[in-house]
Structures are given as structure tokens and as C-alpha cells.
Amino acid sequence: MQLDIAPNVKQALDKGRPVVALETTVITHGLDFPDNVEIALAMEGAIRDEGAHPATIGIIRGRITVGLTAEQIEAFGMADNIAKCSRRDLPMVISAGQDGSLTVAGTMMVAHGAGIRMLATGGIGGVHRGHPFDVSADLMELGRTPVAVVCAGAKSILDLPRTLEVLETQGVPVVGLGTRNLPAFYVADSGLELPGYVENIDDAIDVLRAWRQLDAGNGILITVPVPQKSALDRDEISAAIDGAVREADEQAVFGNQLTPFLLKRVVELTGGRALSANKALLLNNAETAAVLARRSV
């Protein structure tokens, strides 16, 4: 895989230092400017504060770039025409010399190619509500790419029971860090029991080491609840999501435009409280991933 790896990231990898990959669709499709740039840079700062190296990954004029600069992150945050790229989209965007932001799936693929073993994100994709055949490529990538992903579970807008079933089929270990139930992005507890549970960081590191020793070729999911002070009420968020899903169906929004549409409407329907929760969980996940990366090297 041909990659443009930033000098500071390459140096960290060459010296065996901890590196945490960050995806870019949260910048281009998840949050609006200037919130997107502020949280992207804050996540990088949190990773550095915990003793690891951030590597925000995107495509710049057809070149896969591992370790975007602050200026490139800001340009991504202000642009309105950057392609959203999973694994399937990379050949077209690269050959056309375009800019592209990477989903969790795309970031996992590139991170593995660069030798990065840890990724922090908000929430993974999954099975869409009312559309059981609309399954995020994130789940399939977790089944075949050995990168650890730290997240606040799957996005609340999804069909969470079916999402867990697909992860099981893909052979992906799903571990709750400090929670026995699946976190649901804005909500700390979905009520769905997880197959794995660890009480603290030390136990999570033991699981990560065991997973790496197996060398089974699949990813692992470490789920961390949104900080309690920023978590939303389950009933409130369910009502907002139901309304957003109805609007999406009425407007025939589907494919890779569905998740950005739903996330934006949920923020609007909750009076901005969903945005505050999103920012809090993104920062918390970055910090957690950095600690895990540093202590499990």
C-alpha cells in the first residue's frame, strides 16, 4: 500500500512508540464547522497528553496521508465536497486525484497498512433501523483487519441488536470497558448485554495482549460509555431518532448520506444536547485509546 506517512508518525512507528489512528469522516460528515475542527484537534491533543502519537488519516489529492497537519484538518473541516471513503471507494478517489475522508472501515485498512494497531472513533456503523440489508462496512472490516477500535459502542441511530449479531457472525470480540452492556453513543447503556466485560484499563490491556497473541486476523472492539455528565436520556434520544428515521424515509435518504442526515437531525431535535454528548465521547475515546496504546506496546 502506497502511503504518505508524516515524518513524526513515521518516527514514532519506527521507534515502536504508541500511535493512535483517527478517522476523518467525523470532520467532513459528522460535525459542522467549526466544531469539527475543534474536536479533531482536541482529540489529537488528548492523545499527545496521554503519551501517544495521533495520526489523523485522509486522502489529499489522491494520496493516502497518515498524519494530517492542523492546516489540512482545518481545510477538511471547511470543505463541502470531500468524498466519504470506505474500502470500496479508495481506488476511484485515488485514481481521480481527489480529496477523501475515511470512515472507520477505511481508516482501519490504512492504519493496518501503516503498522498502526489502535484507532479511536465516536461510534462504529452498523445495521440501519428498518433496513436490515443496509449494513455498514465497518462491521465487515472489523472481521478481517487486526486493528483495535475504541468507541462509544455503535451509533444510537442504528439497529443495535442486529449490529451485535453481525459482529458475532464476523467473529469480532466486543468488550465493555467498565460496562457490561453495549454503550449506544449518546446513551451510556443500551440495555444489551455484551459478550465481554473488563472492569478497568489493566484488564483491557490483558485482553488486547491475548487478542494480539492469537493473530487471528480480525479486529477487536473496546466499547466505552459516554461520560455520564454528558449522556442523554434513553427515552429522549429514542424519540429524536425515531423522528429522524421517519424523515429520512419520507425524503428517500439512503446509502452513505443516511448516517450524516440522521446525526444532524438528532442534534437539531435534541436542541444541541446530542452535539455536546458527541464531543464528550469523542474526546474520552481518544484519551482511552492513547492509554491503551501506550500501556500495551
Question: Which residues are known to be catalytic?
Answer: 23, 155
Show Cβ contacts of residue 225 under 8 Å, excluding neighbours closer than 6 positions: 152, 153, 178, 179, 183, 188, 189, 231
Please give the Cα distance from 127 to 206 (Å, whole number). 30
3-class SS of residue 268: helix
| Contact status, residue 138 vs residue 106, Cβ threshold 8 Å | no
Phi and psi based region of residue 62 (left: phi greater than 0; alpha: psi -120 to 50; beta: remaining): left
Please give the Cα distance from 20 to 142 (Å, whole number). 16
Please give the Cα distance from 272 to 121 (Å, whole number). 20
| Contact status, residue 223 vs residue 182, Cβ threshold 8 Å | yes
Question: Which strand (E) or helix (H) includes residue 9?
Answer: helix 7-14
φ/ψ of 70, rounded to 5, equals -60, -35
Please give the Cα distance from 220 to 148 (Å, whole number). 5
Please give the Cα distance from 203 to 211 (Å, whole number). 12
Residue 11 corresponds to which amino acid? Q
Tell me the pairing of strands 53-60 and 100-102. Answer: antiparallel
3-class SS of residue 104: helix
The length of the chain in residues reads: 297
